[in-house]
Amino acid sequence: MRTAYHEQLSELNKTLGQMCELSGTTMEHATQALLQADLDVAERLLEDSKGMSKLVADAEEQAFRLLALQAPVAGELREVVSGFQIAADIDRMYALALHVAKVARMRHPDPALPEEVRGYFAEMGRLAVRLAQGARDVLDTEDASAALALDTDDDAMDDLHRHLFSVLMDREWPHGVAAAVDVTLLGRYYERFADHAVAVGRRVVFQATGQTPEQIVGSVESD
């Protein structure tokens, strides 16, 4: 009776997965532009945002179609509303990746990052890409344990973010206010990217089950 609904929901989740993949790839390339002061990469990312715009429009259209034509009720309505929220989180991830590319472009031909913090951002970029891929995997599997596992990388990102401030607050910081502002903003972009990836994983599980990942894993462990 609800075959059409489930097929359309599957299409929506497929589009969300493509959005997640694009966000991760964009952050990977933006980090490359940042670390290598690569103007070509930064400009290419900033000039080629049509792909994400189309995916966002597709996701919204698919979600509205589900609301208008399939008259979802109870759990189905939760699934559709969660789809809107997931799309918003992923779109924000993409925007944060573009913010990184903008800083790389703005500071060219000089590197945006002082040598003291380059290692931090290399690792933050790696974690961001892994979190995006992890969120994509949760979209595919709806696995509560995988959603919870995203918290580990998010905690590592938070640790790096905190350590950045210890470097910035060092009295021996020789790079001036502008560099400190850049590093502060960039750290925040990566930290927020991670937060949205974790939110995607949690929303996917709630979309599918009506429960948080903790509730599902806890109930399994108590059996």
Residue ranges covered by each domain of the chain? 3-222
Mean pLDDT (10-residue bins), the chain, 223 residues: 82 96 98 97 94 96 88 83 95 98 96 94 98 96 94 97 90 89 96 98 92 85 65
Q: What is the model's pLDDT at position 220? A: 67
HEC assignment per residue over the chain:
CCHHHHHHHHHHHHHHHHHHHHHHHHHHHHHHHHHHCCHHHHHHHHHCCHHHHHHHHHHHHHHHHHHHHHCCCCHHHHHHHHHHHHHHHHHHHHHHHHHHHHHHHHHCCCCCCCHHHHHHHHHHHHHHHHHHHHHHHHHHHCCHHHHHHHHHHHHHHHHHHHHHHHHHCCCCCCCHHHHHHHHHHHHHHHHHHHHHHHHHHHHHHHHHHCCCHHHHHHHHHHC
Q: What is the model's pLDDT at position 223? A: 61
Q: What is the model's pLDDT at position 157? A: 98
Its pTM stands at 0.94
Would you say domain 3-222 falls under CATH 1.20.58.220? yes
Q: What is the model's pLDDT at position 96? A: 98
Q: What is the model's pLDDT at position 147? A: 94
